[in-house]
Amino acid sequence: MGQALQRAILIVEDEPLIRHDLMDFFEDHGFRVLEAGNADEAIGVLNNNSAIQIVLTDVQMPGSMDGIRLAHFIRDRYPPTILIVASGAVKSNMADLPDHSMFVTKPFDPRAVLRQIERMSARN
């Protein structure tokens, strides 16, 4: 896949082992992967990387906002971005999430998330 066609995903996760496992998975599937340990870092990465099309964020993180607030922030500023919000502790319903997003319960199979990203990408 050419560089121009490579999709970019931002992984926002405060647990380094989980973040790095997800980064490896998506890199192995042809994505350009960027990372952030919290919402504040994620906003900086997004501001500097207009090519990001997908954000996978944990809900519970240190910093000024959680993953649900981050998802709404991204939806307001970067409307076409596909959003995946994940949590092992917080249960969410779709009413909490912005449009064009999905919630997954941790632990999750990254292959299932990738399939959902493919479906959501096809609707764009």
Domain 3-123 has CATH 3.40.50.970: no
The pLDDT of residue 9 is above 70: yes
**What is the arithmetic mean of pLDDT over 69-73?**
96
SS3 59: coil
pLDDT score of 93? 63
Nearest alpha-carbon partner for 68 in 92, 88, 45, 43: 92
Burial of 85 (0-12, 13-18, 19+ CB in 10 A): buried
Angle formed by the axes of helices 39-48 and 67-77, to 10°?
20
pLDDT score of 92? 65
49/122: higher pLDDT: 49
Rounded Cα distance between 86 and 98, Å, is: 14
pLDDT score of 96? 84
The pLDDT of residue 5 is above 70: no
**What is the arithmetic mean of pLDDT over 20-47?**
97
Q: What angle do CA 86, 98, 3 make, to 5 degrees?
A: 70
The pLDDT of residue 43 is above 60: yes
pLDDT, one tens digit per residue, over 77-124 is 998 999 999 998 877 666 789 988 999 999 999 999 999 999 998 876
